[in-house]
Amino acid sequence: MKVRSYSESDEAAVAKLWREVFPGSPWWNHPETDIQRKLAVQRELFLVATIDSEIVGTAMAGYDGHRGWVYYVAVSPRRRRQGIGTALMKRAEEELAKLGCPKLNLQVRASNEEVVAFYRKLGYEIEERVSMGKRLATEQQYPEPTVGALIFDPEGRLFLMKSHKWRGKYVVPGGHIELGERMEDALRREVKEETNLDVHDITFLCFQEFLCDDDFWQPRHFIFFDFACRTNSTDVRLNDEA
């Protein structure tokens, strides 16, 4: 077993591990988003444990100049009681000590007695504190209305495109509605920006709700307004969203 720093190629395996170990996490703890945030701040303190080429554990540490913190301590259920969690915590402590960190804090749900016992064995003590938090306005605050275009050519074929934002899945063109913009105008603008196509005969089809699905590259709450429309053009030029 080896403990090393995270690398970009680990993302899919780490996200899968977190979803398995933390199945009840709230929607804002979106694995891929949290990974990208960590890579921007003290990425060297983002640790993974591997056996051969398999990622079997993680720990995400940080130091703010006063205290250290550790999050996302996770071990694969199939690899527990093999010293992996202990090794990850030991490495996190060593890296924080190198930075001059005098104390490491962590949080555990009060009901998780097994994990509390694990940390007690590592020398951690329960402190009489009240844990408080406040979500800052760096994330989406309200559902976002968007438009989607089911575009048909003169032969009745439906236009679909792959999108990296949807993890390589086929999607229809569309996007956000700007303030003061009518939905049909937003549809024409988004289609033109994404595909270079001009559309006409726009007909409303339905609306649907999308709530923080893992298929999208970041946690978002959308309300889709879907329209059918037609185009006479075949000059498709995709922008960088496709």
Residues 8, 114 within the same domain? yes
To 5 degrees, how large is the angle CA 155–CA 159–CA 164? 165
Domain carrying residue 87: 2-121
CATH of the domain at 150: 3.90.79.10
Query: Is residue 190 in some structural domain?
Result: yes
Count of domains in the chain?
2
pLDDT of residue 46 exceeding 90, the answer is yes
Burial group, residue 11, by CB count within 10 angstroms (0-12, 13-18, 19+): middle
- pLDDT at 137 (0 to 100): 67
Same domain, 113 and 206: no
Residue 131 domain flag: no
**Residue 75 shares a structural domain with residue 33:** yes
CATH number of the structural domain spanning residue 90: 3.40.630.30
Sort 96 into a burial class: Cβ within 10 Å, 0-12 / 13-18 / 19+: buried
Q: Residue range 81-97: average pLDDT? A: 97
Say what the pTM is: 0.66
The verdict on residue 240 lying in a domain is no
Q: 98 and 27 in one domain?
A: yes
Predicted local distance difference test score (pLDDT) of residue 154: 92
Residue 92, pLDDT above cutoff 90: yes
Q: Does residue 226 share a domain with residue 150?
A: yes
Give pLDDT tens digits for 166-193. Answer: 888 999 999 999 999 999 999 999 999 9
Distance in angstroms (rounded) separating the CA atoms of residues 100 and 65? 8
**pLDDT value at 10 more than 70:** yes
